[in-house]
Amino acid sequence: MATIDTPGRGTWNSKLGFILAAAGSAVGLGNIWGFPTQVADNGGAAFILVYLVCCILVGLPVMIAEITIGRKTGKNPVGAFKALDSSGFGAIIGYWGVICGMMILAFYLVISGWTIAYVFEEILKYTGNMTGAAWFGDLANGPKNAIFTIIFMLFTVGIINGGVSNGIERATKILMPFLLFILIVMIGYVFTLEGSADGVREYLMPDFSLIDIDLTLSAMGQAFFSLSLGMGALITYGSYLKKNQNIMESAAYVTVFDIFIAFIAGMLVIPAMYVALSQGIAIFGEDGDLISSVSLVFTVLPQLFENMGGFLGLFVSVSFFLLLGLAALTSSISLLEVPVSYVIDEHKIPRKKASLIVGGIVLFFALIISFDIGLIDVFVNIFNEIGLPLGGMMTCIFLGWVWKSSNALLEIDNGFPGASESNFGKVWAFFIQYICPVLIGIVFVTTVLNIIR
Ligand code: PFF
């Protein structure tokens, strides 16, 4: 099959542009909130080790697969699978990716909206307006959630309207260094506080006896979500990639960067919890485990910021929620770009109109969730915990057995001459054909059984 060139689709301007955009997609709420939460839930460093293994054995090969499919075809996920398989079977994987992208974005927007609302909450608390602060801080307040969900969607659509290099690439080039800067300054500060050393110890001392099937399932799910895999985000980003870029090298950079940010976000959040403990704030739930999930980010940490007091407390808290919001924004644009690129390519609708149509549909679901945040768990179960491994597994099976890894390797040879003959190429092909589908398959079946049981 010849490479399909769709004129005017756009490309990344530079090698770094693609890496930063893909890293921006990967680094999000999943790293700064999800990862530390999972570590807290699953007994510390043991989780980190299993997570690393999942990222390297499964995440990286699947990421290379997605980028290769995207660059070969120069299309959105639906168009890409259609182009590589005339039977039509493949397109189902693309459609599933588009649906998962939209539904994940729907709940992602609501949580992202909380990060902006909390900036106001912290400012009002600082000025002594407790009633106003309580309004902004009430996670179950439907109208407030709806307002901030809409605001976050407007930012996301605004960037997507700018297109690939002027919108996504430019935004991530500015936002990513800023994000890294805030994260490092905050870690530096938390490390000066009493109690942080206990947190670092807890974070880095593995208890291997805690490794079991549940921990492994959580680690694999976290790897898929954090690396933005299984729904065609990287097929889409890969479709804007120039032929002379080395896919394997770029995927490795993105994976390492994502793991690094998750790791250092844990270095911020877990020690911060122990600083809170040393100040008398409860950080363990009734079950004796570290408080995690929503309460960790929106209850324990704000209490710590409050204890710091004064302008410093305000500065640190606003920086933290800004950090979370920026990370979420560079991910939400990639979630929206998947269905938007589908509408542009397959329905020949111009970008601005496409992003308004898709944005409107996603917003409809997001607003429903705004008024009933219990739905977040339902969406996470279906589209994240089941949807992403399912998409990833089908992508591996498709690439390895339908399109064939030998063809994919020929595409990888562009930008990495000799890849198909190298050991890298051979090991990758073996992983995509055998190891990844089997490992993801086990995780997928067990996750489904756990959810329906
Ligand atoms: N990787 C993002 C995070 O860690 O928050 C979430 C995400 C973005 C998942 C894009 C999937 C995706 F396609």
Residue 147 to residues 107, 151, 348, 356, 379, Cα–Cα distance (Å): 14, 6, 32, 18, 20
- Residues 6 or more apart whose CB falls under 8 angstroms from that of 97 comprise 77, 78, 230, 231, 232, 233, 235, 338, 391
What is the pLDDT averaged over residues 364-376?
A: 97
- Residues 6 or more apart whose CB falls under 8 angstroms from that of 150 comprise 363, 367
Residue 422 to residues 18, 65, 146, 304, 403, Cα–Cα distance (Å): 24, 17, 52, 52, 20
Nearest-10 crossing angle of helices 60-73, 247-278 = 140
Q: How far is the CA of 150 from the centre of ligand 1 (A)?
A: 19
Using pLDDT thresholds of 50, 70 and 90, give the confidence band for residue 47. Answer: very high
Tell the residue nearest (CA) to atom 7 of ligand 1.
Answer: 228
Q: Is the pLDDT of residue 431 over 70?
A: yes
Rounded to the nearest 5°, which phi and psi values hold at 140?
-95, 10
Question: What pLDDT does residue 451 have?
Answer: 84
Report whether residue 221 contacts ligand 1, using a CB cutoff of 6 Å.
Answer: no
Q: Which of 1-5, 230-234, 238-242, 369-373 has the lowest mean pLDDT?
A: 1-5
Report whether residue 30 contacts ligand 1, using a CB cutoff of 6 Å.
Answer: yes
Sorted by where each begins, the domain ranges of the chain are 15-452
Report whether residue 224 contacts ligand 1, using a CB cutoff of 6 Å.
Answer: no
Q: How far is the CA of 281 from the centre of ligand 1 (A)?
A: 31
Each residue of 285-337: pLDDT tens digit? Answer: 877 777 767 778 888 888 888 888 788 889 989 999 998 999 999 999 999 99
Question: What pLDDT does residue 452 have?
Answer: 84
Q: Is the pLDDT of residue 32 over 50?
A: yes
Tell the residue nearest (CA) to atom 11 of ligand 1.
Answer: 228
Q: How far is the CA of 225 from the centre of ligand 1 (A)?
A: 5
Report whether residue 336 contacts ligand 1, using a CB cutoff of 6 Å.
Answer: no
The overall average pLDDT reported for the chain is 93
Q: How far is the CA of 234 from the centre of ligand 1 (A)?
A: 10
Each residue of 2-27: pLDDT tens digit? Answer: 444 454 578 999 999 999 999 999 99
The CATH code of the domain at 15-452 is 1.10.4160
Question: What pLDDT does residue 299 have?
Answer: 84
Which of 449, 298, 322, 447 minimizes the C-alpha distance to 380?
A: 447
What is the pLDDT averaged over residues 379-399?
A: 96
d(CA 453, CA 447): 10
What proportion of the chain, given as a percentage, has pLDDT over 90? 80
Q: Which of 116-120, 227-231, 270-274 has the lowest mean pLDDT?
A: 270-274
d(CA 183, CA 194): 19
Report whether residue 225 contacts ligand 1, using a CB cutoff of 6 Å.
Answer: yes
d(CA 227, CA 393): 15
Indicate the pTM of the whole model.
0.94
**Cβ-contact 323, 183 below 8 angstroms:** yes
What is the pLDDT averaged over residues 148-161?
A: 97
Report whether residue 255 contacts ligand 1, using a CB cutoff of 6 Å.
Answer: no
Report whether residue 420 contacts ligand 1, using a CB cutoff of 6 Å.
Answer: no
Question: What pLDDT does residue 63 have?
Answer: 98
Which of 391, 366, 327 minimizes the C-alpha distance to 105?
A: 366
Tell the residue nearest (CA) to atom 13 of ligand 1.
Answer: 228
Q: How far is the CA of 226 from the centre of ligand 1 (A)?
A: 5
d(CA 415, CA 250): 10
Question: What pLDDT does residue 97 have?
Answer: 97
Report whether residue 394 contacts ligand 1, using a CB cutoff of 6 Å.
Answer: no
Each residue of 97-129: pLDDT tens digit? Answer: 999 999 999 999 999 999 999 999 999 999 999
d(CA 321, CA 310): 17
Each residue of 48-107: pLDDT tens digit? Answer: 999 999 999 999 999 999 999 999 999 999 999 999 998 888 999 999 999 999 999 999
Q: How far is the CA of 331 from the centre of ligand 1 (A)?
A: 6
Report whether residue 23 contacts ligand 1, using a CB cutoff of 6 Å.
Answer: no
Each residue of 129-141: pLDDT tens digit? Answer: 999 999 999 999 9
Q: How far is the CA of 278 from the centre of ligand 1 (A)?
A: 34
Question: What pLDDT does residue 42 have?
Answer: 86
Question: What pLDDT does residue 5 have?
Answer: 45
Report whether residue 334 contacts ligand 1, using a CB cutoff of 6 Å.
Answer: yes
